Amino acid sequence: MGEPQIAAEGGAGRGPMRLLIVSNMYPSVGNPVFGGFVARQADALRRLGAEVEVVANTDPRRGSLRSLAKYASLYRHAAAARSGRFDAVVGHYLYPTAFIARAAARAAGGVPLVLIVHGTDVISVQRRGPVAALCRLAVRDAALVVTVSHALESRVRTELALPRSLPTEVVNMGVDLATFRPVADARERLGWAAGERIALWVGNMVPVKGVPTLLDAFAKVRAAGTAERLMLVGDGPLRSELAERVTALGLGDAVTFSGRLTQGDVALAMGAADVFVLPSLNEGLSVALLEAMACGTPCVASAVGGVPEVLDDPACGRLVPPSDATALAAGIEEVLGAGKATYRDAALSRAAANGSDAMAARFLAAVSRVLKREESIT
C-alpha cells in the first residue's frame, strides 16, 4: 500500500501543521506497549509532514495518590505550552486528559482542541467528581471529537449529549504495517512447537478484557482436542487470579503466561499463532485485531463496541456474544478447523486498509478542516 498523500499544513499558510499531543498513556522502556497507539499516531503524523510534540504520562501504575501526582505533573507540563507555537492541541482519552488538554489549548493561545475517544473513557468521564465534571466541560469546548469507531461515535453523541454544532469524525489509530506482518519463521524465532495449535490473547489483564471467559472456553477447546496451547501476552492486576483459575481448570501445562513483550515480539506471536482471540466485554475498536490480521492470523472476538466494524467479514474470523464461553469455544474451534490459510488473504486486506499512515492522513484532513473553519470564523 503506497504512502497517503496529504499536505500537513498549519493555519493561515504557516507551513507544516504544528500539533501538541497530550496523553495519559505513552510507552516507555519499562512498558513499551503502554499507549503504544499514541506513539504510532505521532510517528505517522510526522511522516506525513506535521510537526508534533508530545506531553504524556508514561507511568502505568495505579492508586489514588499516585494518579493524583502523575496527572498533576501532566497538567503542569501541558499547561506550559507557549502561545503561538501550535495550530491545535490533541488530547487522547476524555478522562482524565480532556481538561488537561483544554488547559494546554488555552495556554497555546486558544487554539482548537481536538479530543480522541478510545472506548472506556466514555464510561469514566461520566463518573461523579470534580475531574470528570471538568472533563465533560472540556468536551463541550472542543473544536472536534474523534472516535475510533462508529459505534463509539453514537455512544458519545448520546451519552454525553454533544451539541449538534460540535463536529465528530471516525478515525481509528491504525496498525503499524511495517511491524505487524507475516513472518514465515515466526514460530522458530519464538521457540514455539511446530505441531501445536495455538490460540493467542494480548492485552492488559483487567476485568473488561474478559480473560476468565477465554480460560473457560479454552478448557472446552482443549478437552475437544481442537487446540493444544493458549498463550497469554501481557500483565495486569488480574494476573494472579487468572493463574489460580488456570490451575483450577487443570490447564497448567497448556496455558503460558509470557508477560509483556516488545512490539516486535508481539508481532511475531501474532504471526505464529493459529488464531487470535479477543473476549472483551467492551472495546472502542481494538487495534490488536487489526494487528493480528496484518500478520495473516484469523480472529475470534466478542461482538462489542466497534469490534464488528473490524471483524464484520467472516473471511477474517468469527464474532461471538460476550461472556459466553460456549460460543467462544465454538468460534475458536470453527476457525481452527478451517485452517489459518483459509483466512489469510482477507485478513491481510482488511489490515492494509487500516494502516497507521492512512489513518493519520484521515486525521490530518479532519484537523485541517477544523483549522479552516476556525479561520473563516475569525
Quickly list DSSP for 77-117. Answer: HHTTPPTTS-SEEEEE-STTHHHHHHHHHHHTTSPPEEEEE
Give percent of the chain with pLDDT exceeding 90: 85
Q: What cell does 236 get?
A: 495486569
- Rounded Cα gap, residues 50 and 42, in angstroms: 9
Query: Domain spans of the chain?
Result: 11-174+355-377, 186-352
Instruction: Return the SS3 of 323.
Output: coil
Per-residue pLDDT tens digits for 224-240: 999 999 999 999 999 99
Q: Would you say residue 278 has pLDDT above 60? A: yes
Q: Would you say residue 145 has pLDDT above 90? A: yes
Q: Would you say residue 369 has pLDDT above 90? A: yes
Indicate the length of the chain as a whole number: 378
Predicted confidence at residue 8, as pLDDT, reads 47
pLDDT class for 60, splitting at 50, 70, 90? confident
Nearest to 104 by CA among 37, 14, 23: 23
* N-terminal to C-terminal alpha carbon distance within the chain: 39
Q: Would you say residue 339 has pLDDT above 70? A: yes
CATH of 11-174+355-377, one of 3.40.50.2000, 3.20.20.70, 3.30.430.20, 3.40.50.300: 3.40.50.2000
- Rounded Cα gap, residues 184 and 229, in angstroms: 20
Average pLDDT over residues 201-206: 94
Mean pLDDT of the chain: 93
C-beta neighbour count of 96 within 10 angstroms: 21
- Rounded Cα gap, residues 376 and 351, in angstroms: 37
Do domains 11-174+355-377 and 186-352 share one topology? The answer is yes
CATH code of 186-352, in short, is 3.40.50.2000
Report DSSP state, residue 40.
H
**Sign of the CA dihedral running 5, 11, 13, 14:** negative
Q: Would you say residue 86 has pLDDT above 70? A: yes
Average pLDDT over residues 101-111: 97
pLDDT class for 11, splitting at 50, 70, 90? low
**Sign of the CA dihedral running 255, 325, 301, 314:** positive
pLDDT class for 4, splitting at 50, 70, 90? very low
Q: Would you say residue 12 has pLDDT above 80? A: no
Predicted confidence at residue 67, as pLDDT, reads 86
Average pLDDT over residues 333-361: 97
Nearest to 292 by CA among 314, 312, 304, 310: 310
Within 13 A of 40's CA, how many CA atoms are on the CB side? 24
Predicted confidence at residue 77, as pLDDT, reads 94
Nearest to 57 by CA among 23, 90, 102: 23
Q: Would you say residue 305 has pLDDT above 70? A: yes
